[in-house]
Structure 1
Amino acid sequence: MRPRIPLAAATAILALAASAPSSVAAAGTSGPPVVRHGHACSPSVALRGYSDALDKTEYQGHPVTGISALAQDTEGHAAALSDRSVLFSLDVRGNTPRTTGAVALADGNGAPLDSEGLVVERDGQRLVTSEAEPSVRRHARDGTFTGQRLPVPEALRVAPQGRAQHNQTFEGLTAQPGGRVLIASMEGPLTGDGTDASGRQLVRFQTWQRTHGSHGSYGLSRQWGYPVDRALGVAEVAATGDGRLLVLERGYDVEAGANTIRLYLADPRGADDVRSVDRLTGENGTHMVRKTLLADLGDCPDLGAPNPSPQPNPLLDNIEALAVMGHARDGRLRLLLASDDNERAEQVTRLYELTARLPHP
């Protein structure tokens, strides 16, 4: 039997992540970075801890559930988006993460959103995706819809208006440093898009460019093709700060009762703009986004984590959210992840903190 770590100890690990001694050291120039200490998931990624403190809780009548996106907010705080159309504020500084605020979101007609992706802008406004149409809307800090929506290409709209499949659109959203470029990741492929030479399904990432300074509107910009692993979908995307992206790929095997969660480093530099390409395929010479596996989170130590459902690794659940929360002292990225419990007793809302050393561009 694997040893169990009490929850209090696990949350303490999470809280100590920012100040913990360096657990990752770079390898020689000929090889990848290597985790020297800590809870290694791979040569370049370490698990610092997890917390179930938010699981099956409520805040001011709002169940803290359905967490689909995370974004760094003010120092030590995170914004957490529920796909139940609620935006939470989380304090992740102490031994136990806690909810400190909640606002309901709605579209221009007062209807709730199927909210999935989140960016916190410099002025505190929130950009929120809904995968129903899909859409990207701007909301004030108090959740009020400002009336601003970003343009969306017709092909990315859900059929019959476009070629996107229901529940397979804007699952992730991130902004490059300075907020001048936004990137939304489609969870699944458009009807008619194909696979690359390795048989991986090609999905699309859509970008927008800010047109008039730091408070201007966004116009449609480049679109890239991204090869997603078989039986997986893109759950989230997060900017690393150097032009590259972290991509969270997720899948669930019903027969095995197992979640698969993989973290990739993706480099869109050199990828072709595919806005005018009707059918993505690896056979037409189009350059797709390059990606490198950082870690399969199923390889992380479970730290004695309980799970109401049988899993090969009980640490894992339906992880949908990912945010870069800054840097450790040695330059490693500090990552915060969250799972969506789908409001089910057999699933858990869990926060995870990891660190990642990225290879040089």
Structure 2
Amino acid sequence: MRLRTVLASTAAALTAATCLTAAGPATAGPATASAHRGGSCSPSVTLDGFSDALDKTEFHGTFVGNVSALAVDRDGSLAALSDRSSLFGLDARTLAPRSVIALADEHGAELDSEGLAVDRDGTRLVTSETEPSVRRYSRDGRVLERLPVPSALLVAPAGRATANLTFEGLTLLPGGHTLLAAMESAISGDSPDIVRFQTWRRAPGAPFTPAAQYGYRTDAGLGVPEVQATGDGRLLVLERGFTAGVGNTVRLYLADPRRATDTGGTENLTGQRGVRLITKTLLADLADCPSLGATAKQPQPNPLLDNIEAMAVTGRDHGTLRTLLASDDNQNPAQTTRFYRLRIRLPH
């Protein structure tokens, strides 16, 4: 189904639902269109629409959900990563599933797969929160390479990270020579609101090796589920949290690591003098977006919100980024797999 757009109509929604069903054995719910117009979330961010078409569906016997990351593939289609070790290919326009492959580690064990980047040769770079790790996969799901990870970022007792709070975001920076992964939460010894962003660099024809590391200060009580390169050296950063009985907080920031201190040799990040953290500027609190007729299955400050965890820049147009977000439903009846289309105007 198409995203609910500014000019959505019942006829258009029914047509999109037909496209989705025709793609294969994906079971989609009834197509319902919003009569509400898209609108502004902030001066910098516009919500064009959303879709719940893939919520609680299956494709070739695999549950379509648990979406933890998105990336644009080399052919313009979308790659959608499930944290249950599945990688889906989606139609970029309709979101219809086209393919699915299972991922595993070198021993055939499932991953807690969270971050995704498609390299220039079409191979997939995928993070897992288990160790954490970054692996390179072929298009058919074979492990090709495992990148080294600094010991402090490993899960305790091997390192200082907390299980299930490690590499969530992954992105390739302009030129494809630098890969950046974002920790979801702080490691022990660091201030609880400072998370580490780790990079790897490669020379032409050489593999990625660990490079600079940076500190990023989150808003109180929030973590980092995703990062995406903007194309000019800056980053889009999602911050997210959840409060029972209240719902999700999801904020979108523009972050600039270009003048930040390399903290790879700093044992404890506590906001000390002499360490320049990544600077950030709020683009939008997504609770301020128009709801567009969305409904929530549990309390939310805005019924549009859910557990938003995935993000991809799908196009660029004169300083505006076309961006797709998706929520991770955790295969939970009280949560929704929802896709959101945004337009983001970057400040200079």
TM over 0.5: yes
Output the CA distance in 1 between the equivalents of 2:45 and 2:335. Answer: 25
Query: Which of 329, 347, 351 is the equivalent residue of 2:335?
Result: 347
Residue matched to 1:247: 237
Residue matched to 2:141: 143
Residue matched to 2:82: 82
Output the CA distance in 1 between the equivalents of 2:121 and 2:74. Answer: 11
Alignment check: 8 A CA contact 1:10 1:51 kept: no
Residue matched to 2:26: none
Secondary structure in 2 aligned to 1:356? strand
Output the CA distance in 1 between the equivalents of 2:41 and 2:298. Answer: 22
The amino acid across from 2:319 in the alignment is: G
Residue matched to 1:158: 155
Residue matched to 1:91: 91
Unaligned runs of 5+ in 2: 17-36
> CA shift at 1:75, angstroms?
4.4
Distance change >3 Å, CA 38–CA 55, structure 1 → 2: closer
Distance change >3 Å, CA 171–CA 313, structure 1 → 2: same
Secondary structure in 1 aligned to 2:302? coil
In the alignment, structure 1 residue 111 sits paired with structure 2 residue 105? no
Secondary structure in 2 aligned to 1:155? helix
Residue matched to 2:194: 202
Residue matched to 1:235: 225
Residue matched to 2:216: 226
Residue matched to 1:34: none
Alignment check: 8 A CA contact 1:246 1:263 kept: yes
Residue matched to 2:165: 168
Output the CA distance in 2 between the equivalents of 1:10 and 1:292. Answer: 38
Write the deviation string for residues 164-199 of structure 1: whole angstroms up to 9, x where unpaired.
01111000100012210000000000101026xxxx
> CA shift at 1:254, angstroms?
1.0
Output the CA distance in 2 between the equivalents of 1:276 and 1:347. Answer: 40
**What's the TM-score once normalised by structure 2's chain length?**
0.89
The amino acid across from 1:168 in the alignment is: L
> CA shift at 1:9, angstroms?
4.0
> CA shift at 1:101, angstroms?
0.5
The amino acid across from 1:47 in the alignment is: L
> CA shift at 1:255, angstroms?
3.4
> CA shift at 1:122, angstroms?
1.1
Alignment check: 8 A CA contact 2:6 2:49 kept: no
Distance change >3 Å, CA 6–CA 314, structure 1 → 2: farther
In the alignment, structure 1 residue 337 sits paired with structure 2 residue 334? no
Written as runs of structure 1 = structure 2, the 5 A alignment for 1:169-184 is 169-184=166-181
Alignment check: 8 A CA contact 1:232 1:250 kept: yes
> CA shift at 1:11, angstroms?
11
- Give the number of aligned pairs: 324
> CA shift at 1:283, angstroms?
2.5
> CA shift at 1:306, angstroms?
1.9
> CA shift at 1:282, angstroms?
1.6
Distance change >3 Å, CA 7–CA 100, structure 1 → 2: farther
> CA shift at 1:74, angstroms?
3.5
Secondary structure in 2 aligned to 1:282? coil
Alignment check: 8 A CA contact 1:59 1:99 kept: yes
Query: Which of 223, 238, 261 is the equivalent residue of 2:250?
Result: 261
Output the CA distance in 1 between the equivalents of 2:216 and 2:121. Answer: 31
Output the CA distance in 1 between the equivalents of 2:111 and 2:287. Answer: 31
Output the CA distance in 1 between the equivalents of 2:125 and 2:316. Answer: 24
Output the CA distance in 1 between the equivalents of 2:274 and 2:319. Answer: 37
Write the deviation string for residues 126-172 of structure 1: whole angstroms up to 9, x where unpaired.
000001100000000011111x1111000000000000011110001
The amino acid across from 1:323 in the alignment is: A
Written as runs of structure 1 = structure 2, the 5 A alignment for 1:264-275 is 264-275=253-264
Alignment check: 8 A CA contact 1:10 1:49 kept: no
In the alignment, structure 1 residue 282 sits paired with structure 2 residue 271? yes
Residue matched to 1:127: 125
> CA shift at 1:77, angstroms?
1.3
> CA shift at 1:6, angstroms?
12
